[in-house]
Structure 1
Amino acid sequence: MTIEEHVVLVGDDGHALGTAPKTSVHGRETPLHLAFSSYVFDREGRVLLTRRADHKITWPGVWTNSCCGHPLPGEAVDRAVVRRLSYELGLTAERADLLLPTFSYRAVMANGIVEHELCPVYRVVVDTPVVPNPDEVAEVRWMPWKEFAEGVAGGLLVVSPWCREQVPLLVELGSDPMTWQPAPVTALPPAARV
């Protein structure tokens, strides 16, 4: 028997309101819920881009940052990042560094489906090979950060709406992703603190 995955619902004040089945929260009236985005880098400072599987409910087949997901109720967000990187990309990560603790966005697809997430952003550095899970990822590509960031800024690269909003905020942290200073866990909104 498979247990249905739940997500944490979040109020406008950043506090948890309860939980809901993950399958029920992505629609035309998507409530604000807790998620995460992560940017995986190799030792050369290249960022790992992924193309979302074609059967995804939201933004199928679209290129985006390395890995996104939802922490389980009661799960620390950085642990959720490590868990999903293993599941989606076969990556072993020692840690995930919090970069944008309060990032939030709302985006609407052409068919009316809405993403509405409180979505802290993390950096992960790996030196293990990528093994994409086809249930989640259609394709992967490593790209120098500067080239990627400039491509997103100039509109030359079409990426997910959350990635398009996150990249300029990450650029503000400095030109070298390896020197970005992590934010303290205490900067996370209350719903994201375990």
Structure 2
Amino acid sequence: MENVVLLDDAGNPIGVHPKYEVHTRETPLHLAFSSYVFDSEARVLVTQRAYEKVTWPGAWTNSCCGHPAPGEPMDEAILRRLSTELGIDGGSVQLVLPLFRYRAVMDNGLVENEICPVYAVRYDGPAPAPDPAEVVDLEWVAWTEFVREVLAGVRPISPWCRDQIEQLDRLGPDPLAWATAPDDSLPPAARNGLEPAAAPSVR
């Protein structure tokens, strides 16, 4: 059974909950991530969520979202989900929005409630091979075109992706030139594997 990490308002871990039971009308705050995959031409990989998804089935969104397992480093979780959902193996992972947070409510009342750091992933490998249980369609879109359409409201997109685009646009028009955010700016629960090792004791 997969578990997600539950959080307090400061981003500290306070427990775990089964992933497939966490999304209700009173979803607790929990840890997630969003990733945007870019190729060498600054095109972004946009995906359509499978219709079997509990939240926002069939919605178009960013490349890949997910939840790190308890104790799993964020970059490893991102690469794991990219492999599982899109058949993408490898890629360089870059933290760009360390403190993104959102809450969104579906028409049926189900709630997403996440602290969700955002990452850019540079990938120039073989074409994605999506798992149809996760992704039903995808397309590569020029980043500037994607941003323009989302901000103009002419490209339907998931609510978290829309909010992320507003913040990512402030980083500059070229995603391949974005600055990397420092790891210590992540919420505490997302720093697994990033804390420096304790110095050995001297006797």
The answer to whether TM tops 0.5 is yes
Two-structure CA RMSD over aligned residues (Å): 0.6
Amino acid at match of 2:56: W
Cα separation, 2, equivalents of 1:63 and 1:89? 14
Q: Displacement, 1:93?
A: 2.2
Matched with 2:190 is 192
Q: Displacement, 1:135?
A: 1.0
Amino acid at match of 1:144: A
Matched with 1:42 is 39
Moved more, 128-137 or 91-100: 91-100
Matched with 2:79 is 82
Do structure 1's residue 158 and structure 2's residue 156 form an aligned pair? Answer: yes
* Unmatched 5+ stretches in structure 2: 193-203
Matched with 1:169 is 167
Q: Displacement, 1:78?
A: 1.2
CA contact (8 A) 2:92 2:123 kept: no
Q: How many residues matched?
A: 191
Matched with 1:98 is 95
Matched with 1:73 is 70
Secondary structure of the residue aligned to 1:7 is: strand
Do structure 1's residue 28 and structure 2's residue 25 form an aligned pair? Answer: yes
Matched with 2:135 is 137
Cα separation, 2, equivalents of 1:15 and 1:49? 31
Cα separation, 1, equivalents of 2:187 and 2:78? 17
Secondary structure of the residue aligned to 1:96 is: strand
CA contact (8 A) 1:90 1:130 kept: yes
> Please, what TM-score do these two structures have when normalized by structure 1?
0.97
Q: Displacement, 1:127?
A: 1.0
* Unmatched 5+ stretches in structure 1: none
Cα separation, 1, equivalents of 2:77 and 2:92? 11
